[in-house]
Amino acid sequence: MQQGQRLLASLGHRCNNLLLPGSPLATCLPLVIDGHRLGLVKPDIARILTARCPSVFHYGSGSRSLTLADGLSGFRPVSNAMATAFEQLRTDGVFPCLTKGWRNELYAARLRSTRQPVFEVERSAASLLGIAQWGCHVNGYTVAADGSQRPVAMWLARRSLSKPTWPGHLDNLVGGGLPSDCDSPTLNARKEAQEEAGIPAALLDSLQPVGTVSYFYEDERGVFPDVEYCYDLALPDTFSPVSVDGEVAEFRLVPLADLPELIAQPDFKPNSGLVCLDFLLRLMSFLPNLPPSVLAKNADAEALGARRSKEEYRKMKELEEARKLAAVPAMKDEEGKDINPHIPQYIMQAPWYYGALHPTLKHQIKPAGEDEKRQPDTTASGEIITMASGGSEALNRWYKRGQAAGPRATKYRKGACANCGAATHQAKDCFQRPRARGAKWTGEDIAPDQHVQPDLKLDFEAKRDRWNGYDPASYRQVIDSYAKLEEARKQVRSSKQEAGGEEGEQRDDEDRYGDEMAMPGQKFDCKERQSVRNLRIREDTAKYLYNLDPSSAYYDPKTRAMRGNPFEGRDVSVEEAPFAGDNYIRYQGDALPMMEQQVFAWELQAEKGVDAHLQANPTRLELLHRELDEKSKEIGGQISQQILEKYGGQEHLRAADSEAPELSALSQTEQYAEYSRTGTLLRGAEAPAVRSRYDEDKKPLNHTSVWGSYWEAGKWGYKCCRSTMRNAYCTGLKGRLPAAGPPAVKDSTAAASGSKRAAASNADDGSATAVAEKKRKQSESESDSSSSSSGSSSSDDSSDSDSE
């Protein structure tokens, strides 16, 4: 595939050098006749033609085209004038292509649209005028002997050394130009094949057109915008071409494997190389699907192309992708039409029983004569209904429901229905109720004849076609109804506009676009639907392409806005940047004053009812804005003066620089702070602290320390009360002090019980008692209150135990 790409590139440079950068295409002048561009002429050739043939050609100093002289028009006068002019130029030896390559063969300059000839000129002079030249090339090849019809070799011709152009170069088997007296490329190809290679007419019956190859190049002879018609011709092994007119020196049979190397050689004619390359590309991607009978004749299936290596399949896939990208020409069918490269392979590949040996899509087309094999549809009277080509039923033929066959009869007719008198059915098939006396005996109230429905033979799809039998003329009623409705809407809208109502200017069912809606500041309504088209010119660079870094300025694809500067952080100033962001444009220059005036126009329209338009009358709007600002300042000053006269405080507003500059300096600061009415700091120098909705520094169960802040005797506890019981209520210092001895009691039993309880308490407290004693000495008042409360609680406990 890489070799094919290199070959295609080299041929493209040789045959399309006028399309390469640096070519003289931009300097060439068009040949314009009767307003039609027919050719392309180099500037030096145009100057020579106008200087030596002023009666035929005209080229002014300020003109950018070569035209005919004034008064010269018509096919025959122009052709005769050009023949005389180029004959004289040949005699004078001005152009070497006329002196060495005169052919005595006329070429026609035709319009591209209608193919109508405008004039005819000598073939060797066609390149001087740059008119399109058409030619025919035939790829003659031989097929394999195993019956697979697979091309294996191609016949090539070496041009005679006496040829005026490309002498001694390799060429196609048959090639020639299309003269002006021949309009059929196929007939011209058959004529050239018989003259140059001696191919009999019987073999030429299998000549297949496969498409065209076009190219555009220039050399010292002029400009060549040429088109070559390509044909394929399969030749038997027993046939050998013979030169008849002497234009060919020899014929060579070259294997297809050696053909790419020959095409790349400098002695191969370039345009013929393009035709051969087109043949190889078409052959490379087509897999002939042969029937099993042909495969059974040869056990070597690989020779028939049934198996291919991975490399061959890879090349085929690359070629298919190149065709989809339009890098190489598309395949041609047997009629020379392009085959869409995007068609899947399973659709393009013909089944084996079809026996396709070339690329084709005919197996996907319904044969034209298939409907002729079916029995034609007939009416009840035996009339044959003409079949529609390619369909299952004649066009516009359907069952007519409830339609009478003709006028109603006045008398009973023999053979008609005895009940109703209609001639299209009998009494047993009559749908009317049985009469007491039928029409046969009364001769009255004869029913009209019914339309006999045709015996339509519909296929599967036609029976299920919901549009079969639909009359498009019936849709005219729908169109008329909508037209009447729209006309009524227009009348209502016009009546509202005449009444002067604002509602008459608004449309109910249509969006108001930016070019139709009222301008801002004029009848502005925020409830009105607006669809403003936000489009950019295609030549402008999109905003998001200025900086592709995702972390750069954000681009909103919905509004197409980029507020930030995409060149921020680069060595590009804001003034030099092609785009500095929407915010820079929005807040620079007169943008802010214009926005203020626009808002002022909206406020005037909404509050005062004044119709002030920024675009229609900007001077009036600016004067109103300035006048309103001056009045606002004047009124504000009067209000301030009245407040000061009523409440005083003028001395606090006056600058204190002259009276007490040191106090003024202390009171002034650059730090801004804003407080609420309650004194809470809202914003300013000191940011307000974030407060939680939960109370801070407050522990559960009245504790002032957390669990685990105290350790004693292998147990954790609270440091505030030294309690080792989790989730116990904190008693503060009370939990740290031992219980005091109980007071004197009346009963000895209670005293004994109190002494036992005090002894047990002293034993349990241990070291806690010593610490409590020290605390008692430091705070005697607290220990007294604590001991008294402890004693009272002890007495209560003792009394409770006595009562029990």
CA distance 798 to 747: 10
Asked if residues 166 and 249 have their Cβ atoms less than 8 Å apart, the reply is no
Same-domain check for residues 94 and 221: yes
Last residue of one domain, picked from the residues 240, 263, 287: 287
- pLDDT band per the 50, 70, 90 thresholds, residue 798: very low
Same-domain check for residues 621 and 717: no
| Whether pLDDT at 554 is above 60 | yes
Instruction: Give tens-digit pLDDT for 357-368.
Output: 678 888 888 766
CATH code of 43's domain:
3.90.79.10
Last residue of one domain, picked from the residues 233, 256, 287: 287
Same-domain check for residues 642 and 716: no
Residue 796 inside a domain? The answer is no
Same-domain check for residues 625 and 714: no
Mean pLDDT across the chain, nearest whole number? Answer: 76
Residue 28 inside a domain? The answer is yes
Q: Are strands 512-513 and 67-68 parallel, antiparallel or unpaired?
A: unpaired
Same-domain check for residues 619 and 714: no
Q: What is the pLDDT of residue 649?
A: 78
CA distance 715 to 735: 16
CA distance 184 to 579: 60
In this predicted model, which residue has the larger pLDDT, 111 or 561? 561
Q: What is the pLDDT of residue 155?
A: 92
What does the pLDDT average to over 35-46?
Answer: 86
What does the pLDDT average to over 333-355?
Answer: 79
Same-domain check for residues 132 and 16: yes
CA distance 98 to 128: 9
Residue 788 inside a domain? The answer is no
Same-domain check for residues 92 and 216: yes
Residue 235 inside a domain? The answer is yes
Same-domain check for residues 178 and 61: yes
Same-domain check for residues 605 and 712: no
| Whether pLDDT at 218 is above 90 | no
Q: Which domain holds residue 621?
A: 590-646
- Chain center to CA of 524: 36
| Whether pLDDT at 749 is above 50 | no
Last residue of one domain, picked from the residues 270, 287, 304: 287
Residue 316 inside a domain? The answer is no
Residue 498 inside a domain? The answer is no
Asked if residues 66 and 99 have their Cβ atoms less than 8 Å apart, the reply is no
How many separate domains does the chain show?
A: 3
- pLDDT band per the 50, 70, 90 thresholds, residue 102: confident
Same-domain check for residues 9 and 136: yes
| Whether pLDDT at 540 is above 60 | yes
Residue 582 inside a domain? The answer is no
| Whether pLDDT at 109 is above 50 | yes
| Residue 200: count of CB within 10 angstroms of its CB | 10
Please provide the size of the chain in residues: 804
Same-domain check for residues 183 and 101: yes
What does the pLDDT average to over 659-668?
Answer: 54
Poorest-pLDDT segment among 90-104, 294-308, 422-436, 650-664:
294-308
What phi, psi does 468 have (nearest 5°)?
A: -70, 130
Counting beta carbons within 10 angstroms of the beta carbon of residue 29, is it exposed (0 to 12), middle (13 to 18) or buried (19 or more)?
A: buried
- pLDDT band per the 50, 70, 90 thresholds, residue 216: confident
CA distance 498 to 476: 33
Q: Could you say which DSSP state residue 332 is in? A: B
Residue 105 inside a domain? The answer is yes
In this predicted model, which residue has the larger pLDDT, 473 or 479? 479
Same-domain check for residues 642 and 704: no
| Whether pLDDT at 446 is above 50 | yes
What phi, psi does 300 have (nearest 5°)?
A: -80, 90
Q: What is the pLDDT of residue 510?
A: 47
